Amino acid sequence: MNAAIIYGRLLESFLLNCKLFVVTLIFGLPLGLVIAFGSISRFKPLAYLTKTFVWVIRGTPLMLQIIIIYFVPSLVFEVYLWSGISGGRFWASAAAFIINYACYFSEIYRGGIESIPLGQSEAGQVLGMTRAQIFFRVTLLQVIKRIVPPMGNEIITLVKDTSLARIISNKEVIMMAEEYTAKGLIWPLFSTGLFFLAAVGILTLLLGYGEKKLGYFR
């Protein structure tokens, strides 16, 4: 088979990886901030519940979470959630990725927020600022600067983890390559590494640029 055609099909499959990556970031980043607020809440039952949830999600494999989210509604509760919508397998994977990465992001947010000296909040209160004003005008910008490196590591990991969507038969790039491997062609499987290397390279440059732009907080 023509190599150009194979690469074209691999690229088409890699677009599913990219779509899953983008959807996870769009929903996972803000959800992670909400979970972080729950973890640091002064309302202890909420804080304990949130921390337990994060512990469970971070302590179990993402692959297992994908399987549970896709199969449990129909097998246990007889609710055919994903079969009733277009692209159900993709959205089941997306739900698992969003929840999983939101929990990891939440810990990064929490660490960033707690690293800001308490004196800054107290100074804002003296100036008559509300808690919301202090957070968005004083704390948040400094938190963003501090969390860029660890957040960048998670985002790069996310690119590679999108291949796990194949566990419920989402035809992402590695699954597509394995079909050619079954036909006796091994090079398409190794070629998938080029797609991930390119994506990670672009993200590394963008994250490095963003980190430099935030350098004025030093």
Give the relative orientation of helices 88-114 and 140-161 as an angle to the nearest 10 degrees: 140
State pTM to two decimals: 0.91
* CATH number of domain containing 36: 1.10.3720.10
Domains in the chain, number: 1
What burial class does residue 198 get, using C-beta atoms within 10 Å of its C-beta: 0-12 exposed, 13-18 middle, 19+ buried? exposed
In order along its 218 residues, the chain shows pLDDT tens digits of 688 899 999 999 999 999 999 999 999 999 999 999 999 999 999 999 999 999 999 999 999 999 999 999 988 887 778 887 778 999 999 999 999 999 999 999 999 988 888 777 777 777 778 877 887 777 877 888 889 999 999 999 999 999 999 999 999 999 999 999 999 999 999 999 999 999 999 999 999 988 887 765 55
Closest CA to 117 of 144, 151, 142: 142
User: Which two structure tokens, joined as six digits, stand for 116?
Assistant: 């800001």
CA distances from 38 to 53, 55, 87, 122, 174 (A): 11, 13, 32, 22, 37
Nearest CA-CA partner of 57 in 18, 19, 105, 90: 105
Domain assignment of residue 73, given as a range: 3-217
CA distance 120 to 217: 14
Q: Can you tell me the distance from the alpha carbon of 79 to that of 102, in angstroms, rounded to the nearest whole number? A: 25
Cβ neighbors of 86 (< 8 A, separation 6 or more) are none
Model pLDDT, residue 215? 67
